Structure 1
Amino acid sequence: MARLDIEIETRKMLKPSAPTPDNLRTLKLSLFDQLARSAYVAVLFNYLPNSTSSYNHDELEKSLAETLTKFYPFAGRFGKDDPFSIDCNDEGVEYVQTKVNAHDLAKFLSKAAADNNNNNIESSLLHLLTIIDHQPSSPSSPLLGVQVNVFNNGGISIGIQISHIVADAFTLATFVNEWAHTNMPQDNDDDNNYLPSFGQLLSLFPARVIQLPSFDPNTLTSTCTTNVTKRFVFDALEIENLKKKTIKEDSTMMRQPTRLVVVMSLLWKVLAHISSDKNNGNSRDSFFGFVMCLRGRIPSLERVVGTFSIPEIANTEGGEYELNDFVKLIGNRIGETCAAIGKASKSVDDISSLTINNQIKILEKILQRDKIDIYGTTSWCKYPWYEADFGWGKPFWVSPVSVGIHELIILMDTNMEME
C-alpha cells in the first residue's frame, strides 16, 4: 500500500499534570518485570466518526496528563545506576498528534487488512504509530509513546507503544481504559478512583541476580525489512465445533478444551506441517511457547499492574501429530503448571523458582533453534480492549502491531458488536 500522507501537528514530551511525590520517585522492578522481554508493545485503537460527540485534542491531552499521575512510572525512565529500577522523574511520554490526509479510516484499514500483494498489514499500520527512536531499556528512552491520528472524515486512530518491562497486556488495557474514563464527559459525580499499586508485586517478588543462559537478543528482534504481519479471524462457531470434535475423537479427554487451547493447537499443527514440508517431509522436534497470566491464580493479586505472568512451553519429538495430540500437549502443560502454582501459591519463593526455571528452559531451547522449531504465542483475550470509550464511542477495531519482534502470535478477541 502507498504510504499515508501524515502531517505532524504536535510533538512533545507530555508530563503528568501533577508532580510525582518524593516517596514514589524510585520504583524497584519486580522479578516478573526483570524477566520481561526488552521491547515495546504496540496497539492501535481505531474509532469511527461520531455524529453525537466530537474529538477535542486539548481535552484528550489534558486527560492523558491526569492519567499519568496515577500511572506515574510510565512518565519516568529506567534507572541509570540501577538496571532493576525506574526513576519516576516525570520526564514525560512521547506524545504526537497528526492530521491524516486520507478521508476514511475504515476504508484504509479494510484495504490494509485485505492487501492482495502480500496481506502485509504491518507496513500500513506502522504509519499510525510514533516510532520511539531509542533502545527499549536505555535510561534515555521514553517508556510510553502515544500518537493520535485524526482522519479527514473524523475517524481517529490512537497508537500506543509501551515498554513490556513496565506493562503487560492487562496493565496496558487498564491504563487505556482509565485514560478513556478520565477523558469521558462525566454526567454525575461517580468518578473512577482506581489507583494502581506499582509496589505490590515488588514487595512479594523482588528482582534477583539470576544466572540465565546467555544469547544474542537479536534472535528475538528482527532487523529484516521484509517482515510480514498477517491477521486471521477464527469464526466462533468453527472454534466451538473444533472443541466438540477433539473430545469426540479422543475418549481419553475428560472435558472439552478451551477455545484458546484449541486455537493454539491448530496454529501449532499448521506451523509444524509447514516446517515438515520445508524439510522434505522430515518432522523436527518442535516447541510451542505461551504465557500464563498469574492474576486470579494467586489470592489478592487479581488487579496488580506491571508484568505478572509465567512462561510455559510444550513440545513434540518429531513424527506426525493430529490436532488432538497438540490439544493434549498444551492442555496437559497448562494443567500441570496450574497445579504447581496452586501448591506454591502460599510460598512466593516457590512461585519465583517456578518462573525462573521455566524462563531458563525456554532460553535453552532458543539456543538450539537451528536444530529445532520454536513458536511463540501470547493471549490478549478477555481484556476490555473494546471498552475504551473516550467520549466518541467504543473502538470498532483494536489491533496489536509488531515493532520489531518477529515469529510471535498474538491472540485477541474480536469486537463482538461487529460480528
Structure 2
Amino acid sequence: MAKLEIQIQMRKMIKPSTPTPNHLRSLKLSFFDQGAPRLYVPILFHYLPTGECNRELGIIEKCEKLQNSLAETLTSFYPLAGRFMEDKFLIHCNDVGVEYVESKVNMNLAEFLRRGPKIELLDDLLPEMDQSSSPLLGVQVNLFNCGGLVMGIQISHIIADAFTLATFLNEWANTSLTGTTKDCLPSFGHLSSLFPPRVISAGPQFSLPSIEGPKIITKRFVFDAFAIANLKDRINPSTAIFTRVVVVMSLIWKVLMGISSAKHGHSRDSSFVFPINLRGKSKLSSLEHAQGNFYVTVAATLEANEMRRELHEFVNAIGSTARNTSLSIGKAASVDEIMSLSINCGTEIINKFVQGDAIDIYPSTSWCRFPWYEADFGWGKPMWVSSVGKTFEVISLFDTKDGDGIEAWVSLKENDMLEFERDTQILASTAFDSSIWIK
C-alpha cells in the first residue's frame, strides 16, 4: 500500500461556546495526575460513508456539526480547552481552545482497511500537537475520497485517563447526534480536593524510555471469541479469575517470558504491569464519575526458575494481583489509606524499573469495556476503533467491534517481535493483522 496522501485543509483552535466562569478558571490537579506520564494518548475512530446523495454537502455538514458540537461540549469539559502550568501544577482554564484539524486523504477508506491497514500509516491520521501552544486535546478529521472519515484524537495524559477520554468523547458524540447536552456535568476538581499532590521523598525515579533506543515495532493481533474460549479451556477450573482480558494478558506474558528465557539462556524474574481503574472500587461513591486520572498501576510478578510455566500460573498471578488490589481499595477506610496504597504500588513499580536489565518488565493497558463503539456523531457508530504504533514497549488491549474478542496491539523491540509473531501459541490463537471485515 502506498504512503497516504494527506493534505491539511484547515487548522484552528476550537473554544468553548460559553466562556468559563471566573471561579472555574484554575483547576488544581490531583495526586493521581501527578503520576501520569507526560505524553499524549491517541485513539482513532473509523467511519464508513453513509451514502449521502450530495457527498460534498454531506461532508461540509458533518464538519460543521463536529465543530459546533465540540464547542458546546467544551463548555462542560472546560479544562480541556485550557493549558497546563507545570510550575503551579494546575490547569489554567483560559478557553484558549483545542487543536482542530481537517485533512483530505486521497484514498477510499474501504481500500485502506480491507486488508488490514499498515500500522505505520495510522499515525498520519493523528493531529500533530503544537508543543509551543501546548493544547491538551487535539482532533484531526480525515476525509477520504469515498466520503468516509477517520477521526484522530490525542489527549494529554496529565488531564485524562481512558475513563475521562471515553466520557468526553461520548458526551461530544451525543451532543452532535441530538443537538443537546446532558444535564449532569462532569466532576472536575473533586479528586484534587480529596487527593492533593504530594512531595514525594527522594528515591528511585522513573521516566518513559528514550525514543533513541532500539527500534520498536507495533503489530496487531486479534483474539476472537472462539480463540479466547479455547484458551479458557486450557486453564485449571480451580483458577479463581480468568476474564477474557486476564486470559489474553496471560498468554502474551507467557510467550514473552519464553522469548526472554531463550534469549538469555535461563529464566528471569518477570513482571507484567497494568493499571486498575479505581472508580467504583472504593467506599467513596462520589468518585464513580470523577474526571482526571484515577487509577493505580500494579505489577504481577513471577520469579525465575527452571520449571515449566503453565498458562494458569500466569492467569493466577495477574488475576490475584488485580483482585487483591481491588479488595484493598474497597477495604480502605479513609482517603489517606487509598493514597498510601497507591504510593506503595507506585514505589514497587519504580523499584522494578530501576533494576534495568536484571528483570523483565512488560507494561500494558486495557481499554476494553469502555464504550468506544457507541460514539455516534450522527452518521452511525464507528466500524473500527484503533490504536496506533508506539515508540516504546507496551501491550495495549482493545475490544473487537462485536465486544467478544480482543485486539492486542503489541509493541516490542524488533528482534523480540520476530520471535513473538511466529510463536506457535500466538499463531494458534490469533489472526495477525487480519482484515477489518470489509468485503
**Pair in the same fold by TM > 0.5:** yes
Q: CA deviation at 1:333?
A: 1.3
Alignment counterpart, residue 320 of structure 2, candidates 332, 348, 352 = 332
Partner of 1:349: 336
- Are 1:230 and 2:216 matched, yes or no? no
- Are 1:310 and 2:311 matched, yes or no? no
- Are 1:67 and 2:54 matched, yes or no? no
Partner of 1:296: 280
Q: CA deviation at 1:226?
A: 3.9
- Are 1:195 and 2:185 matched, yes or no? yes
Residue type of the alignment partner of 2:198: R
Residue type of the alignment partner of 1:109: L
1:383–1:86 distance in 2 versus 1, CA, 3 Å: same
Partners in 2 of 1:306 and 1:212 — Cα distance? 26
**Secondary structure of 1:232's aligned partner:** strand
- Are 1:260 and 2:242 matched, yes or no? no
Q: Percent of pairs identical after alignment?
A: 54
Partner of 2:255: 270
**Corresponding residue pairs, total:** 395
Mapped contact 1:244–1:256 kept (Cα < 8 A): no
Structure 1 range deviating more: 50-59 or 34-43: 50-59
Alignment counterpart, residue 367 of structure 2, candidates 345, 359, 380 = 380
Please list the CA deviations of residues 174-227 of structure 1 after superposition, one character each: whole Å capped at 9, or x if unmatched.
1111111111145xxx752231010111121111111264446252x5245943
Residue type of the alignment partner of 2:207: P
Q: CA deviation at 1:85?
A: 0.8
Partner of 2:110: 106
Partner of 2:98: 93
Partners in 1 of 2:232 and 2:356 — Cα distance? 31
Residue type of the alignment partner of 2:219: K
Partners in 2 of 1:335 and 1:240 — Cα distance? 22
Alignment counterpart, residue 134 of structure 2, candidates 141, 146, 156 = 141
Mapped contact 1:297–1:342 kept (Cα < 8 A): yes
**Secondary structure of 2:290's aligned partner:** coil
Which blocks of at least 5 consecutive residues in structure 2 are unaligned?
A: 404-435
Partners in 2 of 1:181 and 1:401 — Cα distance? 25
**Secondary structure of 2:357's aligned partner:** coil
Partners in 2 of 1:8 and 1:31 — Cα distance? 38
**Secondary structure of 1:349's aligned partner:** helix
Alignment counterpart, residue 156 of structure 1, candidates 149, 160, 163 = 149
Partners in 1 of 2:388 and 2:271 — Cα distance? 24
Residue type of the alignment partner of 2:74: L
Q: CA deviation at 1:21?
A: 0.6
Residue type of the alignment partner of 2:320: N
Q: CA deviation at 1:400?
A: 1.8
Mapped contact 1:42–1:402 kept (Cα < 8 A): no
1:214–1:256 distance in 2 versus 1, CA, 3 Å: closer
Partner of 1:128: 125
**Secondary structure of 2:331's aligned partner:** helix
Partners in 1 of 2:86 and 2:231 — Cα distance? 51
1:402–1:165 distance in 2 versus 1, CA, 3 Å: farther
Superposition pairs of residues 208-219 of structure 1, within 5 angstroms? 208-211=198-201, 213-215=203-205, 217-219=207-209
Partners in 1 of 2:337 and 2:187 — Cα distance? 23
Partners in 2 of 1:69 and 1:13 — Cα distance? 14
**Secondary structure of 1:341's aligned partner:** helix
Partners in 1 of 2:300 and 2:363 — Cα distance? 11
Partners in 2 of 1:210 and 1:216 — Cα distance? 13
Mapped contact 1:243–1:256 kept (Cα < 8 A): no
Please list the CA deviations of residues 144-165 of structure 1 after superposition, one character each: whole Å capped at 9, or x if unmatched.
1110000010011000000111
1:225–1:166 distance in 2 versus 1, CA, 3 Å: same
1:212–1:43 distance in 2 versus 1, CA, 3 Å: farther
Partners in 2 of 1:291 and 1:301 — Cα distance? 17
**Secondary structure of 1:96's aligned partner:** strand
- Are 1:413 and 2:399 matched, yes or no? yes
Partner of 1:118: none
Please list the CA deviations of residues 318-340 of structure 1 after superposition, one character each: whole Å capped at 9, or x if unmatched.
12311111111111212221221
Residue type of the alignment partner of 2:33: D
**Secondary structure of 1:313's aligned partner:** strand
Residue type of the alignment partner of 2:270: S
Which blocks of at least 5 consecutive residues in structure 1 are unaligned?
A: 116-120
TM-score normalised over the length of structure 1: 0.89
Partners in 1 of 2:86 and 2:224 — Cα distance? 48
1:232–1:203 distance in 2 versus 1, CA, 3 Å: same
TM-score normalised over the length of structure 2: 0.85
Please list the CA deviations of residues 211-257 of structure 1 after superposition, one character each: whole Å capped at 9, or x if unmatched.
264446252x5245943211111111221232243134xx4x3x452
